[in-house]
Structure 1
């Protein structure tokens, strides 16, 4: 609740109002001076506006922080979602269980790794034997053609250059074919001329 103004004549008498009345009565101050002092000074108005501006800026800053927090929460929603965390926790637990099992069998695993694998048979049920025979045939065929396949793979980087060489060779071959055809035609013409000459020799004799 606002305090009563000492200039307001309708308000209840107080010490400040009585003092002002005494000063006016004694002529120390006039009523006009008191009326002027009632008006709010411009500096106080500017201070009030500055305070309001500061409050608005603080509110804007607070809202900006809230918006940033909401955006961050939206971006990380799929990461911190309970279902995602539960799935991740389950995966970690499975990996942990697997590592524990490996550590428990560390000695046996080390012995198996140190033990040579030669002269050992892999157990296989009889119904899969025919498939194994076919698989071995494919493996033998693959091994036989392995060098060819590797050579093909090694030639892949030079494929463009080889194509250019092949194109040049084909162009030269076309030229040679044309020259051969022309030479064959000349030979045929020469033979015909020789036949004509041979047929005219007896007549001349």
Structure 2
């Protein structure tokens, strides 16, 4: 067995020894090793080729500058939001002064109407259920009306019979 001296740069490494044995035994040829090397270079060319690396570097630089601009805009926006707004006036054109003066009263009206409107919005999902309940009640009412109609007809017939009986009774007395 060979002992490898790691401090000696000319000493063969284990991979080189294995390849030499494969070449000597005929399992591999120099041509197949060259083809494998070319395939490896081709597969890793996009990683190691200077042109590809330059394109990736350029793309990363663009992304970096874009992200830096976003961060700067975010910082500026935060600074603007932190500043107090009092004692600052918004310029309003003269023809809009009337509308601006009406704005607070309208805002108060909207705020007052907000609670009922929110309750109305919350009740919208229950609307179909309420419609079904109303339809059921309408069906029940229609059936009760039909029963009442039958009872009324019965009462009318009974009264007619009573009237006829009274008339017959009176005719007999005479």
* TM-score, normalised by the number of residues in structure 2: 0.51
Paired with 2:81 and 2:154, the residues of 1 have a C-alpha distance of 87
Q: 2:41 aligns with which of 47, 62, 76?
A: 62
Cα distance in 2 between the residues matched to 1:151 and 1:99? 36
Alpha carbons of structure 1 residues 90 and 168: separation in structure 2 relative to 1, 3 Å:
same
Give yes or no for the alignment of 1:199 onto 2:129: no
Structure with more contact order per residue of length (Cα contacts < 8 Å, sep ≥ 6): 1
Measured in 2, the distance between the counterparts of 1:151 and 1:91 equals 41
* Structure 1 position 92, deviation (Å): 3.9
How far did 1:45 drift?
A: 8.1
Partner Cα separation in structure 2 for residue 200 and residue 165 of structure 1: 52
2:31 aligns to what?
52
Q: Distance in 2 between matches of 1:165 and 1:174?
A: 14
Is 1:165 matched up with 2:144?
no
Distance 2:142 2:72 in 1: 72
Question: Using a 3 Å threshold, how does the CA distance of structure 1 residues 95 and 169 change in structure 2: closer, same or farther?
Answer: same
In structure 2, stretches of 5+ residues that fail to align are 1-22
CA gap of 1:101–1:173, structure 2 versus 1, over 3 A, is closer
Question: Which is higher, the Rg of structure 1 or of structure 2?
Answer: 1
Q: Match for residue 176 of structure 1?
A: 144
Task: Return the alpha-carbon distance in structure 2 between the equivalents of residues 86 and 139 of structure 1.
Answer: 44
State the shift of 1:52 in Å: 2.4
Q: Write out per-residue CA displacement over residues 39-78 of structure 1, whole angstroms, 9 at most, x where no aligned residue.
A: xxxx75825x4332232223223222336789xx8xx98x
Number of paired residues? 143
* Structure 1 residue 176, shift from structure 2 partner: 1.6
Structure 2 vs 1, CA of residues 204 and 54 (structure 1 numbering), >3 Å: closer, same or farther? farther
Question: SS of the counterpart of 1:185?
Answer: helix
- Separation of aligned partners in 2, 1:101 and 1:132: 24
* Matched residue, 2:116: 148
Structure 1 length as normaliser, TM-score?
Answer: 0.46
